[in-house]
Amino acid sequence: MAKKKEENKEYTIEDLPGVGPATAEKLRDAGYTDLIELAVASPKDLAELAGIGEGVAQKIIAAARKYANVGDFETGDTIMERRSKLTKLTTGSKEMDDLLGGGLETQSITEFFGEFGSGKTQIVHQLAVNVQLPKDKGGLEGHAIFIDTENTFRPERIVQMAQAYGLDPKEALKKIHVARAFNSHHQMLLVDKAMEVAKEFPVRLLVVDSLTAHFRAEYVGRSSLAERQQLLNRHMHDLLKFADINNAVVAVTNQVSAKPDTFWGDPTAPIGGHIVAHNATYRIYLRKSRGNKRIARLIDSPSLPDGEVVIAITNEGIRDA
Ligand code: ADP
Ligand code: MG
């Protein structure tokens, strides 16, 4: 029985005509948790992921399109107004800042990817300190949230980096809110939690180190690839929302995979394939060079020329080579 759509009511999957609790559960298990996701799904994917017939999938999608809140158009001046608040966060290296057009941009996701030891974790530690700096020093005078999936957050390293700037290390540590993520679901939940923390503190940086490690470990093999990609996609949408709402920098790390578990079959492609690539506004590929030097290359930026610079990982932190 078709229900009439009421304005301002938030509809759920169960409100769709023909969808009972059992089908709703199938849809949720397949990763479709709200109407907008169903509205934009392809019938083939939905049928396959939820284990329903393609005809049924088509009907569900058509119904979801009627009931979903598909969002509104914004006028250019509203977008201009939001973009006028964009600011940049220094990386600690002048050269890497220049590569990025002045530093890491707020309201965006920046992905650092590279092999083990390429400096990803060092860079995000540095950012957690830099975000606290005054604006004329390239900071955002804010707090950092650090979602740590590999247990590699080191307060001792923060102390070194803070001291190098003459910051009180104790104060610096107090402005970094760290949470261990025990699995990919926990990692995703922590973004909701981060939203709450950001209501209490002026959070201007959200780090996820590593974005993909749990997902890679938990979703192994071809059969679970679609689900993994879908969850990663949703996770990155949540991260971008955090960046927008808080005018914050989001920095994520991603290891390059030596196994051909990517879409491209490239043996050194970053994990997460095109889903992660498309959701990151800026992507920096890090490679080891001599000693403490690392090569940072900007990849596929929408607004900046590709290029590469050399940085150094020093005891003080990330610096020009
Ligand atoms: P990834 O996260 O990409 O696996 P890391 O960010 O952990 O890599 O980088 C590890 C590198 O950082 C190592 O080469 C290590 O020598 C260097 N490093 C770690 N701590 C310091 C320090 N206090 N001073 C100088 N270099 C350091
Ligand atoms: Mg690391």
DSSP code at position 268 = T
Name the residue with the closest Cα to ligand 1, atom 16: 292
Rounded to the nearest angstrom, the distance between the alpha carbon of 315 and the centre of ligand 1 is 9
Percent of the chain at pLDDT > 70 equals: 93
Instruction: Kindly tell me the sign of the dihedral angle through the C-alpha atoms of 12, 18, 24, 26.
Output: negative
Confidence of residue 4 (pLDDT cuts 50, 70, 90): low
Separation of alpha carbons 297 and 96, rounded Å: 9
**Residue 8: predicted pLDDT:** 63
Distance from Cα 275 to the centre of ligand 1, integer Å: 28
The Cα 172–Cα 229 span in angstroms is 36
Residue of higher predicted confidence among 230 and 267: 230
Residue 317's pLDDT is: 98
DSSP run (H or E) holding 148: strand 143-148
Q: Where are the CATH 3.40.50.300 domain residues in the chain?
A: 80-320
Whole-number Å distance, alpha carbon 294 to ligand 1 midpoint, is 10
Mean pLDDT throughout 174-199? Answer: 97
Which residue CA neighbors atom 19 of ligand 1 most closely? 122
Query: Can you give the pLDDT at residue 264?
Result: 47
pLDDT of residue 2: 47
Residue 238 CA to residue 219 CA, distance in Å, equals 20
More confident residue, 80 or 265: 80
Banded pLDDT at 42 (limits 50, 70, 90)? confident
Question: Which ligand is in closest contact with the Cα of 115?
Answer: 1
Give CA–CA dist 114/52, Å, rounded: 39
Parts of the chain belonging to CATH 1.10.150.20: 10-67
Q: Which atom of ligand 1 is nearest to the CA of 112?
A: 3
Tell which one of 111, 122, 153, 209 to mutate to probe ligand 1, the residue whose CB is within 8 A of the most ligand atoms: 122
CATH 3.40.50.300, applies to 80-320: yes
pLDDT digits (tens, 9 = 90+) for 245-262: 999 999 999 998 765 454
**Whole-number pLDDT of residue 267:** 52
- Which ligand is the nearest neighbour of the Cα of 120? 1
User: Alpha helix (H) ranges present in 73-224?
Assistant: 76-83, 94-99, 120-130, 155-164, 169-174, 184-200, 213-218
pTM of the model: 0.82
- Asked whether residue 43 carries a pLDDT value surpassing 50, the answer given is yes
**Strand, helix or coil for residue 241:** helix
Name the percent of the chain lying above pLDDT 90.
Answer: 70
The highest-confidence range among 20-24, 132-136, 268-272, by mean pLDDT, is: 132-136
Average pLDDT value for the chain = 91
- Across 269-292, b (16+ Cβ under 10 Å) vs e yields bbbbbebbbebbbbbbbbbeeeee
Please write the tens of the pLDDT for every residue from 194-252: 999 999 999 999 999 999 999 999 998 888 888 898 899 889 999 999 999 999 999 99
Protein residue with its CA nearest to atom 18 in ligand 1: 313
Q: Does 10-67 carry CATH code 1.10.150.20?
A: yes
- Give the atom of ligand 1 at the shortest distance from the alpha carbon of 209: 2
Q: How far is the CA of 203 from the centre of ligand 2 (A)?
A: 22
Residue with the bigger pLDDT between 201 and 278: it is 201
Ligand 1 site residues, Cβ closer than 6 angstroms: 114, 116-122, 160, 292, 313-315
Residue 123 has pLDDT above 60, yes or no: yes
Give dist(CA 18, CA 157) in Å, integer. Answer: 56
Average pLDDT over residues 46-62: 91
**Ligand 1 pocket mutation pick from 313, 314, 315, 319 by most atoms within 8 angstroms of CB:** 313
